[in-house]
């Protein structure tokens, strides 16, 4: 909790991650709005635009997640402290989850305003469930990749190159589960198959991140 509090205070004081993520997402939706030249999109196209935009916007926060610790000695101080190494993993993952949720609080209404019919209320309960599972996958993979690449010189390039292929199943599962909810007319139901796929993928990479994090921090 102390590390998480520090992360949130640093973000509140510097505003390095969340504003940039939100601005990127809104700008992308504006570009799609004018590029497609349509008043609304639905189903597969809407779900694809939403998830791809959220993914790329999240990469901005992932790339910055461990930068301050690497540049200002935070890793060394944490290694000297008599605490479990996974405390940093949990704090960083929770901080990134808060950043992604804050991004979606801005991005989803902007998406609905620019690319959907006026009301998204009928799809919102199911969409929130899909977003929650997708967020967990982004956080698990993003935290692991950020810790892996932060000490490299080309971290801004290597981070997306490593994270994006791993996040493709999250985008596919999120888009397929969201597509019936974003169809014009009466919304379809949630697909248990894709929700289960997202849940298992989240669990798998959560365990991988937990197993590898001690070695990543110490090396």
Q: Domain total for the chain?
A: 1
Q: Reply yes or no on whether the pLDDT at 203 is more than 80.
A: yes
How many Å apart are CA 62 and CA 145, to the nearest integer? 8
Q: Reply yes or no on whether the pLDDT at 188 is more than 70.
A: no
In three-state form (DSSP H/G/I as H, E/B as E, the rest C), the secondary structure along the chain is CHHHHHHHHHHHHHCCCHHHHHHHHHHHHHHHHHHHCCCCCCHHHHHHHHHHHHHHHHHHHHHHCCHHHHHCCHHHHHHHCCCCCHHHHHHHHHHHHHHHHHHHHHHHHHHHHHHCCCCCCCCHHHHHHHHHHHHHHHHHHHHHHHHHHCCCCCHHHHHHHHHHHHHHHHHHHHHHHHHHHHCCCCCCCCCHHHHHHHHHHHHHHHHHHHHHHHHHHHC
- Token pair 């799809």 in the structure block, residue: 123
Judged by average pLDDT, the poorest of 6-15, 99-108, 165-174 is 6-15
Tens-place pLDDT, residues 34-91: 998 877 887 788 899 999 999 999 999 998 888 877 777 676 777 777 777 788 889 8
192-214: average pLDDT = 90
User: How confident is the model at residue 183, as a pLDDT?
Assistant: 78
182 Cβ contact partners less than 8 Å away, ≥ 6 residues apart: 42, 43, 46, 47, 50, 116, 123, 127
Tens-place pLDDT, residues 143-175: 999 888 877 777 788 888 999 999 999 999 999
Alpha carbon 161 to its chain centroid, in Å, reads 15
Closest CA to 86 of 187, 3, 196, 173: 3
CA distances from 105 to 46, 98, 170, 185, 194 (A): 17, 11, 19, 24, 23
How many Å apart are CA 212 and CA 47, to the nearest integer? 33
- pTM score: 0.89
177 Cβ contact partners less than 8 Å away, ≥ 6 residues apart: 130, 133, 190, 191, 194, 195, 198
Q: Under a CB-based contact definition with an 8 Å cutoff, are residues 138 and 55 in contact?
A: yes
Q: Which domain holds residue 90?
A: 2-218
């Amino acid at each position: 909790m102390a590390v998480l509090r520090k992360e949130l205070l640093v973000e509140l004081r510097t505003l390095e991650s969340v504003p940039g993520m939100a601005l990127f997402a809104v700008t992308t939706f504006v570009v799609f709005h004018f590029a497609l030249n349509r008043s609304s999109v639905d189903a597969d196209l809407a779900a694809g635009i939403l998830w791809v935009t959220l993914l790329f916007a999240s990469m901005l926060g992932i790339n910055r997640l461990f930068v301050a610790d690497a540049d200002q000695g935070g890793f060394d101080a944490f290694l000297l402290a008599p605490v479990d190494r996974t405390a940093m993993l949990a704090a960083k993952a929770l901080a990134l989850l808060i950043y992604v949720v804050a991004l979606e609080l801005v991005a989803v209404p902007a998406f609905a305003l620019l690319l959907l019919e006026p009301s998204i209320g009928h799809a919102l309960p199911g969409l929130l469930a899909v977003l929650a599972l997708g967020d967990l996958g982004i956080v698990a993979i993003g935290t692991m990749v950020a810790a892996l690449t932060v000490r490299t010189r080309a971290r801004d390039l290597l981070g997306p190159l490593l994270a994006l292929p791993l996040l493709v199943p999250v985008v596919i599962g999120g888009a397929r589960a969201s597509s019936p909810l974003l169809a014009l007319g009466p919304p379809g139901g949630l697909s248990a198959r894709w929700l289960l796929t997202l849940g298992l993928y989240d669990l798998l990479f959560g365990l991988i991140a937990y197993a590898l994090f001690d070695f990543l921090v110490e090396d």
